Structure 1
Amino acid sequence: MKKLGIIGGLGPMATAYFMRRIIEMTDAATDQDNIEMVIYNSPSIPDRTGYILDNTKESPLPKIIDLANRLELQDVDYIAIPCITAHYFHQQIAKSVDVPVSNGIREAADYLSEHGIKKVGIMATDGTVSTRLFDSVFMDYGIQCVYPDWEYQKLVMSIIYDEVKAGKPVSMKEFELVKNQLLASGAEVVILGCTELSIAKRDNHIEGVLDIIDVLARDCVMKCAKLRPEYKELIKEGK
């Protein structure tokens, strides 16, 4: 059994749900069969999108690297960051430690490629969208990314910041508007490319999406323990 380190708090609810998904996905018959985790829930880390869009703001990278170094000192075998916008810094974080760091975007690309999916819709933060984080990896797999129109992207950001981060219920009418616009643009599946959006799937029945928290959790379980067979597939059929 391997030990997992988590750099969390980005945001706190997504981190709590990430831990829950790891436990649910682990093929464990006893407490002792579960993965040992060291979790830093650090919501004081500066906003990732804020910095990406305006480099004069405080960078979240030094704090993230500090936590990665602390986790390494605690002998973790694998590190995960349940925040996709923070994957903008993945290369620097991975170079700062000798412990492997999960890459949720690459894991998603691997999964989609295995299932023959060639065009996906992306629901994510402005930081992730503006830097084309998914495109930078998916192009190597021949997967095309489509994004919401400007007015729909505003709805995505409102769901993330005004609802999930504020502890309010997700407006599913707006969520479905964005999802349907991406499907109408030819997307075969819609990626919930921000871990805050995973809360919408936690609380509602949503089909035709790939939840990035599920991708990250599945990867961590497969690296550190044994995956329950029912989580081999992550996409519920339908739209």
Structure 2
Amino acid sequence: MTTGQSPSGARKTLGLLGGMGPEATVELMRRVVAATPARDDADHIRMLVDNNPQVPSRIKHLIEGTGEDPTAVLVGMAEGLKQAGADFLAMPCNTAHWYLPAVREAVDLLFLDMIDLSVRYLQNSTPQPKTVALLASPAVRKVGLFDQRLKAAGFTPVYADGREEEAILQVIRAVKAKTCGQLEQDAYQAVTDGLRERGADAFLIACTELSVIELPATENIPLADTLDLLAAEILRTAGVEG
């Protein structure tokens, strides 16, 4: 056992609602493993993963208004993970957190919340930012997923708009299609530059598709990744200490 860790038998088991998208799910697992202070296999946490790429599209449901509501599928996944032995749940998709209240209502397990984790991180940052630029799916902006909690904590959220927002959506779609190349990276950088010029003093990667590609340059402005915040909280909740 690594010094400073709880005995492996005392650790909690993670249930992961994945597949949104699959690459982001695997990347979260990789970050959890990489951040675990381990000398042997037994030092890592147990992860039960439902990697379900057939979860109905959040973009089609929230942006286009034509897709199926994914709530029932997400509830079924959470219930299955609980029955399989999960002690707590997490979901590496920011946009899918729009449905989190309904899943929590249906399944009586602790469910880690990436939006709350992000707000707490920003509140504990030194110096504390004022204007937070969210690099996110247009659905996140449309439903105001982060807005109320950011504003309540004293932050001003800003987003890509117009052509910038369409550019971000194209980058996200390219990641899902495994066609993301230099053109998309340049578009991602251009959106980030525009947000910085509009006064952003902190950046938050709030789409896990954007978490799996090269980070944009932010000219010394702090950048946080919700996937990193979730990985760290998973280890804390599971009982792993660094």
CA distance in 1, matches of 2:31, 2:216: 16
- The counterpart of 2:57, out of the listed 27, 39, 47, is 47
Q: CA deviation at 1:182?
A: 1.1
Counterpart code for 1:200: I
Larger Rg belongs to? 2
Q: Secondary structure at the match of 1:177?
A: helix
Q: Which residue of 2 aligns with 1:219?
A: 233
Cα RMSD (Å) of the superposition?
Answer: 1.5
Q: CA deviation at 1:49?
A: 1.6
- The counterpart of 1:82, out of the listed 92, 97, 100, is 92
1:200 aligns with 2:213: yes
Counterpart code for 1:83: C
Counterpart code for 2:134: I
Q: Which residue of 2 aligns with 1:5?
A: 15
Cα distance, 1:55–1:148 mapped onto 2, change above 3 Å? closer
CA distance in 1, matches of 2:51, 2:156: 34
Would you say the 8 A contact 1:8–1:39 is kept in 2? yes
CA distance in 1, matches of 2:61, 2:17: 18
Q: CA deviation at 1:75?
A: 2.1
Counterpart code for 2:27: Y
TM norm structure 1: 0.90
Q: CA deviation at 1:227?
A: 4.6
CA distance in 1, matches of 2:155, 2:90: 24
Q: Which residue of 2 aligns with 1:63?
A: 73
Aligned length: 225
1:97-108 aligned at under 5 Å gives the runs: 97-108=107-118
CA distance in 2, matches of 1:97, 1:118: 36
Show structure 1 runs of 4+ deviating over 4 A.
204-207
Q: CA deviation at 1:19?
A: 0.6
CA distance in 2, matches of 1:100, 1:206: 35
Question: CA-to-partner distance for each residue in 1:22-43, whole Å, 9 max, x for gaps?
Answer: 1111222221111100000100
Which blocks of at least 5 consecutive residues in structure 1 are unaligned?
A: 229-239
Would you say the 8 A contact 1:49–1:127 is kept in 2? yes
Would you say the 8 A contact 2:188–2:216 is kept in 1? no
CA distance in 2, matches of 1:58, 1:71: 22
- Taking every aligned residue pair, what percent have the same amino acid on both sides? 29
Which blocks of at least 5 consecutive residues in structure 2 are unaligned?
A: 1-10
CA distance in 2, matches of 1:227, 1:196: 28
Q: Which residue of 1 aligns with 2:197?
A: 184
- The counterpart of 1:172, out of the listed 185, 206, 215, is 185
Q: Which residue of 2 aligns with 1:29?
A: 39
Q: Secondary structure at the match of 1:190?
A: strand
- The counterpart of 1:125, out of the listed 137, 153, 166, is 137
Q: CA deviation at 1:199?
A: 1.0
Counterpart code for 1:30: D
Q: Which residue of 1 aligns with 2:4?
A: none
Q: CA deviation at 1:54?
A: 4.1
Would you say the 8 A contact 2:55–2:70 is kept in 1? yes
Question: CA-to-partner distance for each residue in 1:156-206, whole Å, 9 max, x for gaps?
Answer: 000001x100012342211111111111111112111100000124xx575
Q: Secondary structure at the match of 1:38?
A: strand
Q: Which residue of 1 aligns with 2:3?
A: none
Would you say the 8 A contact 1:78–1:100 is kept in 2? yes
